[in-house]
Structure 1
Amino acid sequence: MTINVQPGARRGKVLLVDDQQANLRLMHQILADEYELFVATGGAQALELCERSAPDLVLLDVVMPGLDGLEVCRRLKQSPDTRGIAVIFVTAGTTPEEENACWEAGGADFVTKPVNPLTLRHRVRAHLQLKQYVDALHALAFVDGLTGIANRRHLNERLEIEWRRCLRSGMPLAALMIDVDFFKRYNDRYGHQAGDDCLKRVAGALSSAMQRAGDLAARYGGEEFLCLLPETDATAARALAERVEQAVRDLAIEHLDSATAPVVTVSVGVAVMCPLQDDAPATLLQRADAALYQAKQLGRGQVVIASDQD
C-alpha cells in the first residue's frame, strides 16, 4: 500500500490562542508565510472556533484568564468533534510538573517561551505532516473499494457528527436512501462484471449530484446507496433526490429485464429531521428506508419523501 502525501500541498489551518497580542503577533510573523492562520484571544473563543471549523493544529497558551489552556485542551479532547485536533502548548513553564500537566491534558507537544522561531516552525511542520499521513490512512479506511465513494463506516461516522451539529444548530438533516431497481435481474442477464460497472457508474452519478462540500454520497451495501445532506430542508432534499433519479436514468445503461424502464433506474426514499435530544440518528435512516419501500411499492424509478407517505 502506497500513501501519497505531498508536504505543503495544502496550507494547513493553524489556530493561535494567546491573551497577549505581542505573542500572537510574533507567532503570526513566524508562520504566516506557510499556513492559514486564525487567532483567538481566550479559551472560550478558541473552543467556539474549533467547533465551528476545526483547525488542523492549535498553538495554545497555557496561562490565560478565564479558561486556561489546560482546560481548553481537556474540553477539546472530550468532544468527538474536536478530539482529533492536535494541540501544541506554548508555555513559560519549565518544571517537570508543568510539563506533565500539558501531557496529561492531552497535548501533543509543547514549545517554551520565549519562542524560538526555528523550533516553532519545525514543530508545527512535523505535526501537520503527521496529520496528512493520518488523514490519508483514514481516507483509505473509509472508501468503498468498488465504487470509490464513502463506505458504510464513513457514513456512520459522518451521520453521528452531522446529527450532533444539527442538534446544536436546530437545522434539519436529510437522508436519501437509494436502491438500484431490479439489480439482481441486471446481474443475471448481463453478468457480475457488468453489475460492478453499473454500480460504479451509479456511484459516480450520485457523487456528481452532491453540490456542497458537506454533502456525502456513500455506498450503504450491495446495490443500496445513501446521501447525507446537512442543513437541508424537505424542499431542497426532494429537488436533489429528483436530480439523482434523473442523473441515473440519463446514464442510459441498458436494462431489458427491468419492469420499470429499458434502462437502469433507481428508487429514492427521502427523510428530513430536525434532530432532538431524545431522537437517535438511526431514526433518520429508518424513515428514509420506509420511504424507499414506498417508492418500490409504487412502481420504482421514482422519489418518495417520508412526509408524503405519512
Structure 2
Amino acid sequence: MTRNTVFHRWFGWRARLAILVLAAAGPLTAFILYQIHELRQRRVDEALHRAYEYARLGSDGYEDILAEAKSLLELLARVPEVNLAAGADCNEALTAAALSRRWVSGLWVVPSNGRVACSNIADGVGMDLTQRDEYRQAIAVEHFLVSNVFVSKLRKIPTAVATLPIINAAGQRLLIAVTLDLTWFGKLSQTVSERANATVLLLDGAGEIVASASSHNDPTTSARAGALASRPSGMFEAADNLGRPTFWGVVPLAGSPLRLAVGLDQATVLAAYHRGTRQAAVLLAFTVLLTSSLIAFAGSGFFANPMRKLDRLLHLTLENMDQGIIAVDQNGRLPICNKRATQLLGLPRDFMSKGPSANEVLAYQASTGEFEALSTDVQGKLNPCLSGGIATSYERTRPDGTVLEIRTVPIPEGGWVRTYSDVTARSRAATELLRLATHDGLTGLCNRRHFDASLQIEVARSCRSGPPLSLLMIDVDHFKQYNDRYGHVAGDACLRRIAQLLHDACRRPSDLVARYGGEEFAVLLPETPLAAALQLAENVRRLLDAAALPHAGGQHGVVTVSIGAATLGDFATASAETFVAAADACLYAAKSAGRNQVHPVPCAEPLPLAS
C-alpha cells in the first residue's frame, strides 16, 4: 500500500464525515440563530410595552386626582362659608375638606385683590399672589385650570395648582384654588421600581426633571432628561443620564404639561437573552470541538460514543429548561415534548409515553375540560396546524389558575415548534395595577373615572337599542357634621359601611356602584325601569335606617341618605351629562324636601335632548 493510497483512505472518509456533519449542523445553527434573534426582539417589544403600560397607569392615576380636584372645588363653591370667604369659618371649612383628602397640600380662596382671604394653612392667609405665574394664568380664564409644576415655598415639594374662578353670592369674583401634593409620584415610583427594576421620571414641558426614582443604587437625576426632552410620548430605546441603554415608555399627564417616563434597564430586560446566547455559543462551540475531534481522531469504533453523549446533552438541556417546548413534525407527531411542557399542560406521563399525535393531545385536553372557559378567539389558536404557517403568540388561563404564554413558530420544512411559559405572577401584577387604576382606595368601589367611562357606554347603548337605563345619585346627609363630631377616621369607616351596603344591595353583575366624590355615591342600573330603580333606592334607604349608625348631629339621630333617581328609555337621546344632571337635580330636591328620602319627581320627567 503506497503512502498516497493510505493518505486518501485516511483523509477521504473524514472529509466526507465533515461534510455530513456540517450539512446536518448548518440548519440547526441557522435555527438557533433565528430563535436567538426572535427572542431578543420579543424581549425588546415586551419591555417597551411594559414600560409604556406602567407610565399609562400612572397617568390615569393623575387624571383621577385632577377629576377629584375639580369636583372638590365645585363642591366648595357651594359651601356658604367658602363662597363668601367668611374668615375663620372659611378657614375651618377648608381645613375640614383638606383633612379627608391626602392629595391636598393646601386650599385657598383669593378675591380680586390677589391676597389670600382664607386657607387651611394659617401662614397662607394674607399672602400676596399677584406676582405668581399660576395666579396670573388663573385670572385670565373663566374655567377650571391646572398650573405648571413648581416647588412649594411652604412645604418644599413639587406642587401644581388647580383653580376655579367663581362669582359668589355677593356678586364678587373669587378664585378657589387647591395645591396638589405630588407625593403620589413617589408611591408609584416605589411600586414600579420594586416590581420591575425600573427608573421613573416626572418631566415638565421643558424637559426638566421634576422628580425621579430608581431601583439602582446610583442616582439618575440631573438638570435635564437628555434624550427624553425631545420625545413628548411613546415607546423607544435611549440611554439614561448615566449612559445605560434603557427601554422607555413616556405618557403625557392630561391637563398639565407634565410627562411621566418609565425606563426599564436594558441589561436586566435582556439578561435571559444573553444567558441563552451564551448557552447557544457554548453548545455550538462544543459541537464544533466534538466534530473536530471526531474528524481528527475518531475511527469507526469511536464514532457512536460522542454522538450518544451529544444526544444526552441535548436531552438534558430540553428536560431542564424553564420553558415547556413541543415540536411537531409535518406528520403531526411529537418528536420533542420536554418534562416542563407536560407539567405546565397537566399531561399524564403514561399518556405521553404512548407517543400521541398533536391532535390526540388536543382531544385529551378537551376531554378534561381544559378549554371550556376559553374565549372563541383563544380556542381558534389552540391548533397551530390551522394558523396557515404564521407565527402566533397568545395567553390563556388553565382551570387551576395558571396563566400560560404560548408562542408558536412554524418550521419551514413542515411542522412547528411551540413554547410554554408560566406568566402567572406577571399577569396578576398587571391585574392588580388595573384594579388600582379603576377603584376607589377607601371604599373599594369603582372610582369616578371608571364610572364616567361606563356611563358613556351605557347611555349610548340605551339610546341605540332602547332598554331603560336608570341612575341613582346618593348623598350622605349632614356628613360634614358627622366628621366634625366623630372625626375623619370614623367618617371613613361610615363611608365604607355605606359602600358595603350599596354593594350588597346591587347584586346583578351589570349593576355598577361607584364613589362619585366625597360622600356622594352613584349607582348605574342597565335595563332597569324607573319603578325598579325606585324600589332599589327605597330598599337602600331602609337598610341604612335599619343599620342605625349613630349621628347625633343629624336630623334623625342616625346616618341617613338622600337619593335622586332618573331613567332613560324608549330610545331617548339625552347625553350622559344631562342624564347625570337630572339625577343630581332630584338628589338636591330630596335634600330640600327634608332629606332621608328618594326623589324621582318632577326631575325624572323626560330628559332634554342632547345638543
What TM-score does the superposition give when structure 2 sets the normalisation length? 0.34
Give, in angstroms, the shift of residue 208 of structure 1: 1.1
Deviations 1:256-276 (A, max 9, x none): 2213x1101000001111385
Give yes or no for contact 1:174–1:234 (8 Å, CA) kept in 2.
Answer: yes
Distance in structure 2 (CA, Å) of the matches to 1:179 and 1:88 = 54
Deviations 1:112-170 (A, max 9, x none): 68987x938x37x75x8765543332112222111122111221222233334434542
Residues 1:264 and 2:559 aligned together: yes
Q: 2:579 aligns with which of 260, 266, 284?
A: 284
What is residue 18 of structure 1 aligned with on the other side? none
**1:248 aligned counterpart, secondary structure:** helix
Cα 1:175–1:24 shift into 2, 3 Å: farther
* Count of aligned pairs between the two proteins: 237
Q: How does 1:86-235 map to 2 (within 5 A)?
A: 91-94=386-389, 111=408, 119=418, 122=420, 132-235=428-531
Deviations 1:186-235 (A, max 9, x none): 11122222211111111111111112111121110001001111111111
Residues 1:301 and 2:600 aligned together: no
Distance in structure 1 (CA, Å) of the matches to 2:575 and 2:549 = 38
What is residue 274 of structure 1 aligned with on the other side? 569
Distance in structure 2 (CA, Å) of the matches to 1:177 and 1:162 = 16
Give, in angstroms, the shift of residue 308 of structure 1: 5.8
Distance in structure 1 (CA, Å) of the matches to 2:523 and 2:361 = 45
Segments of 5+ residues of structure 1 without an aligned counterpart are 4-22, 39-54, 62-86
**1:58 aligned counterpart, secondary structure:** helix
Give yes or no for contact 2:409–2:418 (8 Å, CA) kept in 1.
Answer: no
Q: 1:34 aligns with which of 359, 363, 370?
A: 370
Deviations 1:3-30 (A, max 9, x none): 9xxxxxxxxxxxxxxxxxxx99985654
Give, in angstroms, the shift of residue 247 of structure 1: 1.5
Distance in structure 1 (CA, Å) of the matches to 2:541 and 2:602 = 19
Distance in structure 2 (CA, Å) of the matches to 1:298 and 1:90 = 69
**1:119 aligned counterpart, secondary structure:** strand
Structure number with bigger Rg: 2
Cα 1:280–1:210 shift into 2, 3 Å: same
Give yes or no for contact 1:294–1:309 (8 Å, CA) kept in 2.
Answer: no
Give yes or no for contact 2:466–2:572 (8 Å, CA) kept in 1.
Answer: no
**2:418 aligned counterpart, secondary structure:** helix
Give yes or no for contact 1:267–1:303 (8 Å, CA) kept in 2.
Answer: yes
Cα 1:144–1:25 shift into 2, 3 Å: farther
Segments of 5+ residues of structure 2 without an aligned counterpart are 1-190, 196-357, 395-404, 606-611
For residue 34 of structure 1, what is the amino acid of its counterpart? E
- Greater relative contact order (CA < 8 Å, ≥ 6 in sequence): 1
What TM-score does the superposition give when structure 1 sets the normalisation length? 0.63
Cα 1:88–1:267 shift into 2, 3 Å: farther
Cα 1:277–1:266 shift into 2, 3 Å: closer
What is residue 378 of structure 2 aligned with on the other side? 58
For residue 584 of structure 2, what is the amino acid of its counterpart? D
Cα 1:57–1:151 shift into 2, 3 Å: farther
Cα 1:28–1:248 shift into 2, 3 Å: farther
For residue 33 of structure 1, what is the amino acid of its counterpart? G
Distance in structure 1 (CA, Å) of the matches to 2:360 and 2:524 = 41
Give, in angstroms, the shift of residue 179 of structure 1: 0.2
Residues 1:254 and 2:550 aligned together: yes
Distance in structure 1 (CA, Å) of the matches to 2:364 and 2:477 = 58
Distance in structure 1 (CA, Å) of the matches to 2:565 and 2:459 = 16
Output the aligned Cα RMSD.
3.8
Give yes or no for contact 2:562–2:591 (8 Å, CA) kept in 1.
Answer: yes
Distance in structure 1 (CA, Å) of the matches to 2:455 and 2:573 = 16
Distance in structure 2 (CA, Å) of the matches to 1:168 and 1:148 = 32
Give yes or no for contact 2:463–2:573 (8 Å, CA) kept in 1.
Answer: no
Cα 1:57–1:164 shift into 2, 3 Å: farther
